[in-house]
Amino acid sequence: MSNLPVWDDAAWTPLPRLEGQVEADVCVVGLGGSGLACVDELVRGGARVVGVDAGMVAGGAAGRNGGFLLAGTALFYNDAVATFGRESARRIYQLTVEQIERMAAETPDAVRRVGSLRIAADAEEEEDCRAQLAAMRADALPAEWYEGPEGRGLLVPTDGAYHPLRRCRTLAVRVVEARARLFEHSPALAITPGMVTTPGGCVRCGAVIVAVDGKLERIFPELEGRVRTARLQMVATAPTDEVRVPRPVYYRWGYEYWQQLPDGRVALGGFRDTAEGREWTDDATPCAEIQDRLDVFLREHVGVRAPVTHRWAASVSFSDSWLPLLEEVRPRVWALGGYSGTGNVLGALCGRAAASLALGGGAEIAELLTAAAEHARTRTI
């Protein structure tokens, strides 16, 4: 299997490897959507920034995902309110809606503000969709009941879809023009306060921000048990007019998800939970077991017979709290990740927040995540 995402549809001029010693105010490790938002914020703040990636810009989940832009946390809003507290849940939700608006304004070529659907797979989930709708309405968050060809559930008009790789590459080019120094194929082998070492060189810096979602616990063994790496897999078809899917669809508690791209291709992911734990793995290549399930679902449920042209996988990490991790894990070393499968919006928000913290400022999302985690802890005691 080729493991090539449907998004990899344009040429990319590679960035150099890091050779020798360079200096920076902040070194950002990991150039996915979160790391690039972080670099962008640092540059805007006037910092000298060096960014390094082990592979290519957005070569991880950031350029290989489902392309959903969903507001909120990994928990549906009704669960978020119950788990994190109403005020924190509501404010986090609002910040993520603003982040989607910002992403659309920054990279209009990559973002479609078409809303999203959460479709119930059975009666129990339909009831939960109604509970989510009630919780959102109670907090004046836009959502409406939906019945249509995809099924029954919820329509969230402020969500959207995007081309994740295009957005990341656009941001990378932009921050380089703004004088950030980015290096590809330069894995951080050692991260200590003030120094990041790669095979060809090192970065002496005042602060380090590690924006790596999948395999975060390999970089920071101290996070073992708090974040856990999983593989997510997808397929995409040739352009087709067999179906018309105007907005991304989240199905069966979000385990399955699909969208139709502007050229008619259908991109579908899912079934992580069906392999008896085998998707808790560092392996980021597709496997036949999940790919076969995706094929059947594509034909039988989505109703698409067009040939599958792309099959791919990538690593993400799930957090034990369902909240992203945004933390100073070592002195002047911040770690962010653990988006639990929904890092496109939260990752960019956390990336910007980490930049602000590293520059000595504050970040509302960091405070909200702390308050939400505290609420969840006291609730379960």
Question: Which residue's CB is nearer to ligand FAD, number 312 or number 377?
Answer: 312
- The DSSP output letter for 28 is E
Rg (Cα) of the chain, in Å, rounded?
Answer: 20
Question: Which residue's CB is nearer to ligand FAD, number 330 or number 377?
Answer: 330
Pairing of strands 266-269, 227-237: antiparallel
The residue from 72, 115, 160, 269 that contacts ligand FAD (CB under 6 A) is 269
Segment contacting ligand FAD (CB under 6 A): 174-182, 199-207, 213-221, 325-333?
Answer: 213-221
The distance of Cα 166 from the centroid of its chain, to the nearest Å, equals: 14
SS (H, E, C) 335-359: EEECCCCCHHHHHHHHHHHHHHHHC
Shortest Å distance, C-beta 104 to ligand FAD: 15
H helix count then E strand count, the chain: 9, 19
- Separation CA 371–CA 87 (nearest Å): 9
Structure tokens at 222: 């101290």
Query: What residues numbered 321-340 form the site for ligand FAD, per CB under 6 A?
Result: 337, 339
Q: SS3 of 109, please?
A: coil
Is 256 among the residues that bind ligand FAD (CB under 6 A)?
no
Question: Which residue's CB is nearer to ligand FAD, number 292 or number 374?
Answer: 292
Nearest Cα neighbor of 157 from 120, 205, 192, 116 is 116
Question: Which residue's CB is nearer to ligand FAD, number 130 or number 226?
Answer: 226
Is 32 among the residues that bind ligand FAD (CB under 6 A)?
yes
Cβ atoms 49, 180 nearer than 8 A: yes
Shortest Å distance, C-beta 316 to ligand FAD: 5
The residue from 72, 214, 352, 366 that contacts ligand FAD (CB under 6 A) is 214
DSSP per-residue letters across 158-175: T-EEE-HHHHHHHHHHHH
Nearest Cα neighbor of 251 from 87, 95, 147, 120 is 120
Is 111 among the residues that bind ligand FAD (CB under 6 A)?
no
Is 270 among the residues that bind ligand FAD (CB under 6 A)?
no
Segment contacting ligand FAD (CB under 6 A): 32-40, 151-159, 274-282, 302-310?
Answer: 32-40
Shortest Å distance, C-beta 186 to ligand FAD: 7
Binding residues (CB under 6 A) for ligand FAD: these are 29-35, 52-55, 59-62, 64-68, 70, 187-188, 211-214, 219, 232, 234, 257, 269, 314, 316, 337, 339, 341-345, 347
